[in-house]
Structure 1
Amino acid sequence: MQQSEIEFTSSYPSAFGSAQQGPALPEDDDSDWLTSEKDRFFESWRVPVGKAANAVVRRVLNQIQRYEEMNQLRDRKRTQVVQSNFETTVRAIVCDMLHCVITGHTDGVAISRSHRQTTAKSRYKAAFIGKTLPDILDLMASPELSLITQEIGYRDPHATRDQLTKIWPGETLERLATEHDVQIGDIRFRAPAECVILKSTKKGFWDSSQLIDYTDTPETKRKRLEVRQINEWLSGAQIEFDYKRAPVEQPVDIYDRHLRRIFTRRSFTSGGRLFGGFWQRLKREHRTGLLIQGERVCELDYGQIAPRLLYSYAGRKPPEADIYTLPEFANDPKKEMWRKGIKSLMNAVTFMEKPITRKPKGTKDSLPADHSAEELVGMLRRLHPGIAPYFETGIGHHLQFLESQILVEVLMLARTRGIIALPIHDAVIIPSSRTEEVKEIMLSVSEKQTGLIVPVSKKEWGIGLH
C-alpha cells in the first residue's frame, strides 16, 4: 500500500476538526487523540441547524461586513468562491464557539494558524479552510467586533511540539447566544469529515503521532463504508439523556454521535478503535442518564479480551482461571487490589517494545511495593508461558486491531437487527431489553473471528436496575 505523510508542522492530531475529547488511554497509541476537556481542538464540521444558531451566524456575518466597509478594509470585493469559503469558515468558527458557550467549555479551543497547515491538501481538513484563516481570526478578534478572543501560538524551541493558537468565545458572541437562546440541538455535526484515520508511530513518550494521508484501497473503502453506515444508523436513533437520573454540570450534546475509526503506527492492522460519540466522554456514574428508544440501558463488555486475543493469536487455549490473578497473591488480603494493577501491567507488557523496568503509571497503590516491575513481569511469564514470548514486542497494537474488528462486526449485526448499540472500545451500551440478543451476537462474533468464545459480562447503572 502506498502511503505519503502530510507535511504538518504541528504534532497535534489536527487543528481542523479531527480531534475528540475524552479520557486519555496511556496504553495505546491513540492516547493523544482523546484529549481532556481542557485540550480541545477546533471542530470545523459543526453547522447551524436551528433558527437560533442560523440567526446568530447571519448577524455575525452582517457585523463583519459592516465593520469591513466602515474601516475600508478591502480594496475590492471578494470573488464568489472566496466569499463562499470566507462565510463558511466564519460559520464554522461561530458554531464551534457557540458550542463552547452552551456546554460551558471555558478552557479554549486549539487551532493552527500555520500557513503550511491551512494550505495543505488533506483528506482530514475541510476544503474551505485556507490561507486566509489567520486573517479571519484576527478580524473576529478585533476589539470592535469582539466575536472571539485569541492567544497566538508560537514555536517552542525547547519542546517537541509547537504551541497552537487558542480561541475563546468573545463578549459579542456570548451576548448573541443569550439573546437568541441558542440550545445544544441548534448545532450539529456535518458528515463529510473523514472517518477512517491513519496515524504515524510515536517517536517517544513526549511525541504525538501525526495524521498520515494514504491511498485508498478496496479495504480502506470497505472500512469507511462500515463506519459511515454505523454513523448514519446512530444519527437517526432515539437517544436521550435524563438529567434527573444523572445530574451533570453542563448540557450533554446528545447529537454528537460521529464515530471515527483510528488506525495507528502507519498500519491498517494496528489500533482501529472507534472514537467519538458523547457517550464515550460520559463518566461511568452519568451513564445512568442514557435512554435509548425511551429505555434504560446497560453495558455489555468482553471479559479479559486482550490476553484472550493473544492466546488465540498464539494458537493456544486460554486458562479457565482468571488471567489477571497471580498465584503468588492468591491468599493475599489485597489480591483484588493487586488484580487491578496486574491488569495494567499485562496491558503494558503487550504494548511495550522493550523490557519493562518501571511499574505502569497509576499503579502505585494497586501493585505490591515489595515487588519490582521485573519481578511482577516474571510472575506473568510463569503464569502464561504460552503467550510470554509475545510480551514486550508491541503486539498490543495488533490485538487492539483484532478487538476493533470484532466490535465493528458486532455493531453491523446489531444494526441489521434494528438494535441501537453505542461502542466504547471493547463494550457496547444497549437498551436493557435487548441484552440476550446482543450477548448472543457478541459471543458468536468472537468465536467466528478468534476460534474462542470470549465471555461477555453485563453492567447496569442506576436506581431500580438489576
Structure 2
Amino acid sequence: MDDTSASSDCWFDPWATSQGPNLISLSASITTQVLQATAKGPQARIRQPRPEQVERVTNIVSCLVANLAAMHQGHPEHRRLAIPLRHTSQSRYDRKGFGHLPHVIDAMAAQGLVLKHPAHIKKRRTGIEATGGLLEALLSGTVAEVGRAEGEETIWLTARMGRNAIGHKLPYQLVDYVDTPEACSLRREMEEINAFLATQCIELQGQPQAGFKLTRRFLLRDIEDPHTFHLHGRLYGGFWESLPKRLRADLRINGEPIADLDFASMFPRLAYARVGAKPPEGDLYAIPGLEEHRAGVKAGFAAMLSSANEMTRLPSGVKDALPEGWTGRRLARAIEEKHPALVPLFGKDIALDLMFTESCVLVAVLLRLARMGIAALPMHDGVMVPLNSGAQARCIMETTSLALCGITIPVATKVA
C-alpha cells in the first residue's frame, strides 16, 4: 500500500464525491470546461465524448473537487492532495472508471484551476492544490457538502508480507478475495450501521462534517493463508477516530453532547477470558514503579501480545513512554509478575485474535444501539453516544460483552 506519511500531504480518496448543491454546481461547471478543453486539444484523448465518457469525467471532477474541498476546508495543515501514480489492475477496493484521472488533472491545471506539483519518485505520487477561482470557491463553502460515492467496499482483507532483507516489515497487501456467505453477512452488518449513521446529525464545533463510511478491516498472517475473516476486524473511517481527546467535548450527536464510553482494560480482560482465568482486582495496567507511566505499560502489554517472540527490546513508542532504566526484559518480567496467568499468551502473536473478539463485540453493540435508534460513534474499544443515551449504551455494552465473551467487561465514562 502507498506511503501516506508525508505530513504536508492529504491522501486522495477516490470515494469522496461532491454532494451539496454548491459543490455539485461547481463540479458541473468544471466538468464542462474539462470536456471542452480536451475536445479541442491537439493531443486530446477525449474527442466528441460519448455519454459514458462524460459520466467518467463528471465522476472524476466531482471526486477531485470533493477531495480539494475536504483538504482546503477541513485539513488546512495539509498543503497538497497526493495522487497515486501506480497503474495496477482493478480490484474490489478500487473505484471504476478513473483511468482518465491524470488527463483530467492536466486539463484542470491547464485551465488554472489547480497547481500540479512534480511527482515524488520514491513515493510514486504527484500533488495538486486548488488555486485561483476554484480555491476561492472552495474556501467559501463547507466541508458538509462532501459526500461518499456508492459502491465502496466495507469489508477489507489485507495480508502481512513478511520482512525485507534488512529485517524491516514490508507493507501489508490488500487481498482481492472472492465473496463468501460470511463476507456477505459481514458486509450487510456494515451497511446497516453506515445507513443508520448517515441519517444522524454529527457535528464538530457546531459544524456538520463530511460524509464518511465505516469499513471493517481483517488481516491474514501470511499472504498464502486461506481467505478468512477471523483476525483483526477493527472499524475505521470515522473522522472522530483521529480526533484529539481535547476536541471530543466539541462533538454533538443530534444536538447533544457526547458520553464517551470505554470498555475498561479490554485487551487484558479478553486475554484472561481466553485462558479461562479471572483478572486481579484494580487497574490491570498498574505496575509497581510505573504508576505514573500507565500509557507505557499499556503499550508494552499490547506489544507482548502482538509479537511472535519474547520482548527483549522496547519498541520505540513504548520506550519513549517509560522512565530511564526500563528495558524490554525488565518490563516483560514486571508484566508477567502482575499477570502470571497470561504468560502462555505472551510472544504468541495473539493480539490479532483478541482484536477480532473486540471488534465482534463492538459491531454487535453498534447494531443493537442502531436498532434502538441510538447513534454510536465507534472507537476500537468503546463508543461515543448522545449524553442522554449513556446509561442505555453502557448496559448494552456490558450485556453484549457477557454474551460474546463469557465475562462482563466493565464500562467506564471518559472525562473530556
TM-score in terms of structure 2 length: 0.90
Q: Which residue of 2 aligns with 1:379?
A: 334
Q: Which residue of 2 aligns with 1:5?
A: none
1:211 aligns to 2:211 (yes or no)? no
Matches within 5 A, 1:435-446: 435-446=390-401
Matches within 5 A, 1:37-436: 38-74=8-44, 76-103=47-74, 104-115=76-87, 117=88, 120-130=89-99, 132-142=100-110, 144-154=111-121, 156=122, 162-177=123-138, 181-204=140-163, 205-243=168-206, 254-265=209-220, 267-326=228-287, 329=288, 332=289, 335-364=290-319, 366-436=321-391
The CA deviation string for residues 70-98 of structure 1, in whole angstroms up to 9 with x for no partner, is: 54443842333233212221221122112
The letter for the 1-side match of 2:107 is L
Deviates more, 1:298-307 or 1:49-58: 49-58
The letter for the 2-side match of 1:391 is F
Q: CA deviation at 1:48?
A: 2.0
Q: Secondary structure at the match of 1:412?
A: helix
Q: Which residue of 2 aligns with 1:19?
A: none
Q: CA deviation at 1:230?
A: 0.5
Structure 1 residue ranges without an equivalent (≥5): 1-10, 14-31, 157-161, 244-251, 462-466
The letter for the 2-side match of 1:140 is M
Q: CA deviation at 1:152?
A: 1.8
Q: Secondary structure at the match of 1:216?
A: coil
Deviates more, 1:73-82 or 1:54-63: 73-82
The CA deviation string for residues 104-139 of structure 1, in whole angstroms up to 9 with x for no partner, is: 253322222223x2xx22111111112x33222222
Aligned residues: 404
1:454 aligns to 2:409 (yes or no)? yes
The CA deviation string for residues 364-408 of structure 1, in whole angstroms up to 9 with x for no partner, is: 454242332112212222322222111111101111111000000
| C-alpha contact 1:148 1:173 (8 A) present in aligned 2 | no
- Of structures 1 and 2, the one scoring higher in RCO (CA 8 A, sep 6+) is 1
Q: Quick one: distance in 2 between partners of 1:36 and 1:147?
A: 20
Q: CA deviation at 1:418?
A: 1.1
Structure 2 residue ranges without an equivalent (≥5): 222-227
Q: CA deviation at 1:64?
A: 2.0
Change (3 A) 1:222 1:395: same
Q: Quick one: distance in 1 between partners of 2:352 and 2:338?
A: 22
The letter for the 2-side match of 1:239 is I
Q: Quick one: distance in 1 between partners of 2:137 and 2:264?
A: 49
Change (3 A) 1:79 1:256: closer
TM-score in terms of structure 1 length: 0.81
| C-alpha contact 1:199 1:209 (8 A) present in aligned 2 | yes
| C-alpha contact 1:113 1:133 (8 A) present in aligned 2 | no
| C-alpha contact 1:235 1:255 (8 A) present in aligned 2 | no
The letter for the 1-side match of 2:326 is H
Q: CA deviation at 1:287?
A: 1.0
The CA deviation string for residues 415-447 of structure 1, in whole angstroms up to 9 with x for no partner, is: 111111110110100112112211111111111
| C-alpha contact 1:98 1:173 (8 A) present in aligned 2 | no
Q: Secondary structure at the match of 2:112?
A: coil
Q: Secondary structure at the match of 1:231?
A: helix
Q: CA deviation at 1:253?
A: 5.6
Change (3 A) 1:366 1:147: closer
Q: Quick one: distance in 2 between partners of 1:399 and 1:407?
A: 12
Q: Quick one: distance in 2 between partners of 1:260 and 1:397?
A: 17
